[in-house]
Structure 1
Amino acid sequence: MLGYSAVASGFAVLPLSLAVFVTVNFFTGRLLGRWSHKPLLVTGLVLLGAGSALWMTTTEHSSYGLTMLPGLLVMGVGTGLTFPTMTAAALSGVAPERHSVAGAVNVTAQQIGASVGVAALVAASTAASDTPAGYHVAHLVTALACGAAAAGIAVSRLRAS
């Protein structure tokens, strides 16, 4: 990443995890108490897509603070809104004695989705090229997928509870 060593790259992406941590621990629970799942899922997915779109502007000579960091922070907030809300939505309306089954189905679906998603992004990026242009294609696909998911949820009949 931007010519960084493996350790420096690890520290460079740390703000994403910190943004997830802060969003989940200080905001998402409170927002779920006030709003239904739908607006939080739509907002989270839009932020994830926007963060990925920001990364499309990155080149190997880009400034970390102007290109990478904003995308990391936006994606972190989007992740912090989306994943806990998905879990809450999956468990809503399920009898307490069935929460373990509903939770297991939710986690399984997330893992399958992540596996298929990573495979699709690797295929898209390597088909484009093994250069930054390939990564831009992967970020474009991610941004479009997040936008499509957000639009689908926005027009769905997802229950408020």
Structure 2
Amino acid sequence: MKLNNIAYQDIVAGGVSEGKFANVKNYGLELEALGRFDQFHINVNATLQDPKYSDFKGNGFNYDNNQARRIPKFYFIVRPDYNITKDLNVYMKYSHFGKKFNDEGNTFVLAGFNVFDAGVSYKMNNIRFGIDATNIFNTIGLTEGDGDWKGKNNGDVVFARSIVGAAARASITLDF
């Protein structure tokens, strides 16, 4: 896939707006598999990709062939579930997000992270009761970092967007 003229705009030190346009070439492979073995099921999704900038250079910078920011090269989900009875199901989900870069120059690394979720559901006629726990181990995973990263090193404190922490929810669904 090739995307042209992607706009990048960050607010940097002193409130100055910095804008650039880039082309991105992304070659990859996405796999999905579903296995059913009596009461046990497993779903696997995986993406392996190589998102790179092309023709992205200008006054004082050359980002050609750098990894596009905020896009990991590897990502996958494994979600097994088990039907204890016809109406009672339990599941677990493991997600892995590979490392990515916060900046076009590939100097500020956002570390990869793993997330575990789990849940149980019970179906009674056309009503489904569910309890779901997300990010069970309260992983801190960053999806993007501070636009004002220049001059900071890996390990320094920065503003960033994190995934949601550990949470639980109960739900009732009515099918009609």
The two structures have a TM-score, normalised by structure 1, of 0.30
The structure with more helix, counted as a fraction of residues: 1
The structure with more strand, counted as a fraction of residues: 2
The two structures have a TM-score, normalised by structure 2, of 0.28
